[in-house]
A and B are shown apart, each in its own frame.
Chain A
Amino acid sequence: MASPDQKKLRTAVKKFSSNKKITLDDVLSFAKLALIACGKDTQSRENDAIDAIREEVARLQSHDLSKNHLPSAKEELDTAVRATEEAASHILACAETVMAVDANNAESYESSVNVAMLEILEACAFQDISGQHMSKVAETLNRIDRRITRFAKTSGVRDWKGEASDCEAHKNKRQKDLILNGPASNDDGLAQDDIDALLAG
């Protein structure tokens, strides 16, 4: 007569043979049952390692990240981008208004410039709000970083050597082929004078 563990193993094998969705937890359960079926002690090191990995996977709280933190971070970024665009557009409109005013009419010109300057000052308040939205995004990234770093350290997994996915492979190839480095950070890029020298050389 089959033991409860053997029955569980058979059920797991059936699930793997079917087209049902297999989760990481299924794989870990299967590995644990297979070890038991092989006659290893349930308290063996391998078994403990599987339990530890299962716990670490749970500690990633991936559903919490994908349902709460990531959508929220995207919303924060979208709001910051929108606020920046609106401010830039408002400041440009002020500049365009001043550029269109007849400078020969001193009184009208002064009044228009004063109004525009005040509006530009007000529009610059976007930086404070955008900064706060960005801080929230940075906190989400730090949270993900902490969880993944802990997971990688505890599970001892090594990085996959190839591309993470076809989509990323395609994106990376495009970036490399078309030299899409994006804006430089800090002193990473050339200054205009260096570029001029390179072009002249």
Chain B
Amino acid sequence: MAIDLATPVLVVDDYKTMIRIIRNLLKQLGFSEVDDAADGTQALEMMKRRKYGLVISDWNMEPMTGYELLKEVRGDDTLHRTPFIMVTAESKTENVIAAKKAGVNNYIVKPFNASTLKAKIDAVFGD
């Protein structure tokens, strides 16, 4: 599955600066449609209104965490196939294993650089 750079991407993070950083990196990678949400609840509502080709989410947010969002997405008949990358400072083994079990497509630990983000997006889309 090749990357369609016109595909809408949803960035979920409660830290505005991180959203701005990821937005800029995605723009550099050629993505033109980037939306953002401040937590899992808002993201889920947006995902039910618009079809996203990729979700990039932080883990630690309130009220709904990225981990809960991932489980909601994978449990939803319409959304369950949406590629999901976790970008988080949570770097314990138990976090990675839990995310893997919940069906995450890839996992990036903060702080990260542009090439890591590109490599993980490429890996998700099989490029």
Residues of A within 8 A of B (CB): 85, 88-89, 92, 95-96, 99, 178-184, 188-192, 195, 198-199
Contacts and interface: CB of A to CB of B under 8 A. Distances in A.
Interface of B: 17, 20-21, 24, 27-28, 59-60, 65, 67-68, 89-98, 100, 104, 106-110, 112, 116
Contacts of A99: 24, 27-28
Nearest to B67: A178
Most chain A beta-carbon neighbours within 10 Å: one of B27, B91, B94: B91
Most chain B beta-carbon neighbours within 10 Å: one of A85, A99, A178, A181: A178
Given A88-B17, A192-B116, A199 B98 contact: no
Given A89-B17, A192-B116, A198 B93 contact: yes
B91 A184 contact: yes
A190 B90 CA distance: 9
Contacts of A85: 17
A189 B111 CA distance: 12
Contacts of B106: 199
Contacts of A184: 89, 91-92
B108 to A, nearest CB: 7
The 6 tightest CB contacts between A and B, nearest first, are: A189-B91, A183-B89, A88-B17, A181-B92, A184-B91, A190-B91
Contacts of B104: 199
Contact of B65 (A88, A92, A95, A180): A180
A96 B67 contact: no
A191 B98 CA distance: 17
Given A182-B60, A182-B90, A198-B97, 5 more contacts: A179-B95, A182-B89, A184-B89, A184-B92, A190-B93
B90 A181 contact: yes
Given A180-B65, A199-B106, A95 B24 contact: yes
B102 to A, nearest CB: 10
B25 to A, nearest CB: 11
B60 A180 contact: yes
Contacts of B91: 183-184, 189-191, 195
A138 B93 CA distance: 30
B88 to A, nearest CB: 9
Nearest to B105: A199
Contacts of B112: 192
A195 B107 contact: yes
Contacts of A199: 96, 100, 104, 106-107
Contact of B92 (A92, A190, A192): A190
Most chain B beta-carbon neighbours within 10 Å: one of A89, A180, A188: A180
A114 B67 CA distance: 42
Nearest to B17: A88
A92 B106 CA distance: 26
B123 to A, nearest CB: 9
7 contacts: A92-B20, A96-B24, A181-B92, A181-B94, A183-B90, A198-B97, A199-B106
Contacts of A88: 17
Given A180-B60, A199-B107, A92 B24 contact: yes
